[in-house]
Amino acid sequence: MRITYYGHSTFGIVAGGKNLLFDPFISPNELAKDVTVDSIPADFIFISHGHEDHVADAVSIAKRTGATIVSNFEIVTWFGAQGVDNGHPMNHGGEWSFDFGTVKYVNAVHSSVLPDGTYGGNPGGFVVKSDGVSFYYAGDTALTYDMKLLGDYEDINFAFLPIGDNFTMGISDAVIAADFIKCDNIIAMHYDTFGYIVIDKDRAKKEFTDKGKQLSIINIGESIDL
């Protein structure tokens, strides 16, 4: 699968012939100023929770592309009120088969409110299976024992984990999370965007390699194939 990083927790992934976009937060992100939001493709936009740093560009991209918003019921309802007609509401533990593959909305330990103060339901993450490959997009979350369920019952090939600390788990807990989900191929997210989450990237990579795992830190605007 081709994975493109747009900064913070925003990734574009081509899976099953569709463009999946996760948590678009680009135009307010100074680190992503060279990314052209209006050229990002999307067939589906996944929203892990309602915070501004995960939804900022979702309305404009959805209206331009006609993409379907996939999130919890409360967030999909809010996007409907913003004039985004295509939405697929989910809730924790539920799985659905889309044309590109299956999606399960899974637990996250965090909070969730939309930018205008509307209740954003409970935050989550996604397990996506497509083309015989499974990946986990954790969203914003603490290290949680629920991740062991994913390790025991899902066969996760790669995972997007937050590593910036303060608002989410940090590097050391992300290494433990990788153990819990039984996945050695981790892609870093939710770091460096704000002062609270600036990290030492060399230290992060070393903590993972010391445990026999790989941490991919993708430059903003660049792509990797997994």
Q: Which residues of the chain form contacts with Mn ion (CB under 5 A)?
A: 51, 53, 140
CA trace torsion 76, 174, 96, 66 (10° rounding): 40
Of the listed pieces 6-14, 24-32, 51-59, 66-74, which binds Ni ion according to CB under 5 A? 51-59
* Straight-line distance from the first to the last Cα atom of the chain, in angstroms, rounded to the nearest whole number: 5
Q: Nearest approach, Cβ of 162 to Ni ion (angstroms)?
A: 9
- Per-residue tokens: 152: 């025991």
Task: Rank residues 9 and 68 by Cβ distance to Ni ion and give the closer one.
Answer: 9
Q: Nearest approach, Cβ of 163 to Ni ion (angstroms)?
A: 14
Phi, psi values for residue 145, rounded to 5°? -65, -20
- Per-residue tokens: 118: 């509307």
Q: Nearest approach, Cβ of 100 to Mn ion (angstroms)?
A: 25
Site string for Ni ion, 1-40 (x = CB under 5 A): ----------------------------------------
Task: Rank residues 14 and 76 by Cβ distance to Ni ion and give the closer one.
Answer: 76
| Rounded (5°) CA angle 48-52-56 | 90
